[in-house]
Amino acid sequence: MPPEKIELPPKYYLTYFQYLIDFVKKKYQHILNETEQQFLSDFEALTEDEKCLFIRFCNRTGSFFRTEKLKYAEIENIPESLNDLIDKGFVEPLSENHLTEAADVLDIFSKAELIELAKMLNLETRGKASLKKEEVLDWLLMITDWQEIVDWIAEAPPAPRGGAFDPESGEFKNSPSGGWGAVVRVQKETEVQMLKFLFFGSRHGDMTEFVTRDLGFQSYEKFDEDKMVAYFQTRQEVEDKLKVSLAREDFYLMQQAEIEILDIYNWFMDWTEKHRKELSEIAISTYGTFSLKVALYLEKKKALDEALTVFRLTEESPSRERQVRILDKQKNQEEAKALCELILAEPKNATEQFFAEDYLNRIEAQLLKKKSKKAVTQQLHNSESITIPASWKRQVEFGVIDYYQNRNMKAEFTENHLWRSLFGLLFWDIIFDTDSLAIHHPLQRSPSDLFKPTFFEKRKEKMEERLKMLEDEDATTVYMNRIFFEKFGLTNPLVEWYGGLFPLILTVLEKLSPEQITLITLEMAKNLRQNLRGFPDLFIWADGEYSFIEVKSPTDSLSNQQLFWLRFFESINVRSKVLRVEWAVELSEL
């Protein structure tokens, strides 16, 4: 029997927006500026239908809307509400004031309508139907006067449902005649975006997250709202993180527009010179990620000098590795060696460490006129191999599973999800502990510090105390059973829910010692951003034996992070190995 369909109330979006407003007022009243305070006051003074229509505008893409497209059954009189929103400054009619947004206005019309508009303006349109909409739009903007377009839209016959704007009365009227209707622009966007930014703590948050939750598509851990803390403590923190986020969005737009590489570089360096020194701590990590993205883009476009300059602005991984690679290409081996030695003195992660070791070994081998092998290559070449049918070429891991199952062993594809899920379940309440001051709103998928160094620092004692439980096998089984079935389906970025996960975790807890599980999970916790990946592909076991296996086809290579975990497992006596696969010769090939 299919699950009962969930239906949201007609004005569900008003409930969500009102909740967001009330939440922001409670947590951020002290840092809202005068304009934002005024917006909240003005919004509360709107009628329910006016609020609904305004929120409908805010939840849609774009700033301009055609009045004949406004069809919301739950709003009784749309023209009346629209007129009232104009009077109260929440919406404004299209005018010559929107010259700089001409492309956004025309974009709300279809290609056929744009061509019809060109005809109405007595323009030659032959051959335009074969163009893409974007090309027609660009052509119109290039050869027409914006005022003509505004006048034409304003004077066009009104549409039957949405109504058209009457300049004399200053109102939108219903009319039975045909036409396109009027165009309006939503106002107060800056204030609304700020409220959402404060609530979600980033520019990525979206009101649809409320919808997916209430329709049952996403289930979140429940928190005591009084224990949620504000993500931002000061106005400066808000403005700094928003400033970096907006600059990052501008960078992505420049990439899409294929702006000249040096222009992007100069823009970024000018922005950095103007803003970097004044950024508050909360925005520094966002700036580091932003810098890394810019540097990687410059390197990809072969602007190596510029990329090197930007890489030096952040130590966000893999910045230092990329610097070494660029310096090597530029024949500056001395500086590259010095940076590798710096990396080895204090590596950010395993990938950095092995890269630096390999680079220095290669340079030394060159001086001695010897050949050198990367650590991952040596590990791969020294590993054992098996032969399986070539029919498994596209599913090599499952071919190896079949190989072991035919030898009376149990085998599962586990890769990263086994250890991630074990970690997420074992420390569930500690991860989502509101005492960590990393829970800021009820729709959080994870604590805000999950991938920061402070994650382990703040939870170290509680995690170590939890791990003592592993010494009691029965207590561990009872605890894991309760957490798994109590939390099943709730959003946790570490846990991949499926029916076979629980017995698999119990098997791992049975095969490995409490000390081994403790060492692995604590190593993960020290750097979750890096150490949640690189685990072996398979887990195989039978009575009295087990192994974690990294499967490599003839064309595969071993990554530094995979080598890190293989070596770590070896250091704590957890059985693991690399297994090279060779393809059996088919009879047809003989």
Asked if residue 561 and residue 477 are part of one domain, the reply reads yes
Nearest to 104 by CA among 144, 59, 64, 61: 64
CB 421 within 8 A of CB 494: yes
> From its phi and psi, is residue 549 left (phi > 0), alpha (psi between -120 and 50) or beta?
beta
| Domain contains 164 | no
Asked if residue 484 and residue 351 are part of one domain, the reply reads no
Q: Distance (Å, rounded) from C-alpha 362 to C-alpha 359?
A: 5
Asked if residue 479 and residue 455 are part of one domain, the reply reads yes
* Tally of domains in the chain: 3
| Domain contains 90 | yes
Domain that includes residue 264, residue range: 219-372
**What does the buried/exposed string (b/e) look like for 356-374 if buried means 16 or more CB atoms within 10 Å of the residue's CB?**
bbbbbebbeeeeeeeebeb
Boundary-marking domain end, from 169, 196, 218: 218
| Domain contains 389 | yes
The amino acid present at 464, given as its one-letter code, is E
Asked if residue 426 and residue 553 are part of one domain, the reply reads yes
| Domain contains 339 | yes
Q: Distance (Å, rounded) from C-alpha 401 to C-alpha 540?
A: 8
Nearest to 521 by CA among 460, 588, 472: 460
Q: Tell me the CATH number at 297.
A: 1.25.40
Q: Distance (Å, rounded) from C-alpha 66 to C-alpha 109?
A: 9
pLDDT of residue 161: 37
* pLDDT tens column, 308-358: 999 999 989 999 999 999 999 999 999 999 999 999 999 999 999 999 999
Asked if residue 564 and residue 497 are part of one domain, the reply reads yes
Asked if residue 386 and residue 358 are part of one domain, the reply reads no
Boundary-marking domain end, from 350, 372, 394: 372
pLDDT of residue 2: 54
388: β partners: 583
CB 487 within 8 A of CB 440: no
Boundary-marking domain end, from 175, 200, 218: 218
| Domain contains 151 | no
Half-sphere exposure of 261 (CA within 13 A, CB side): 13
Asked if residue 412 and residue 286 are part of one domain, the reply reads no
| Domain contains 432 | yes
Q: Name the stretches of the chain with pLDDT < 50.
A: 157-165, 167, 169-172, 174-179, 590
pTM of the entire structure?
0.87
| Domain contains 166 | no
Both tokens of 99, joined, read 């010259």
pLDDT of residue 170: 47
Asked if residue 347 and residue 213 are part of one domain, the reply reads no
| Domain contains 146 | no
Asked if residue 290 and residue 202 are part of one domain, the reply reads no
Asked if residue 352 and residue 423 are part of one domain, the reply reads no
Asked if residue 297 and residue 196 are part of one domain, the reply reads no
pLDDT of residue 158: 43
Q: Distance (Å, rounded) from C-alpha 446 to C-alpha 431?
A: 8
Report the DSSP pairing between strands 164-166 and 410-413.
unpaired
* pLDDT tens column, 490-502: 999 999 999 899 9
172: β partners: 165
Q: What is the DSSP string of 377-441?
A: HHHHHTSEEEEE-GGGGGGHHHHHHHHHHTTT-EEEE-HHHHHHHHHHHHTHHHHT-GGGS---S
Report the DSSP pairing between strands 576-583 and 384-388.
parallel
Q: Distance (Å, rounded) from C-alpha 556 to C-alpha 240?
A: 44
Q: How many CB atoms lie within 10 A of CB 284?
A: 15
Asked if residue 414 and residue 504 are part of one domain, the reply reads yes
Classify 538 as helix, strand or coil: strand
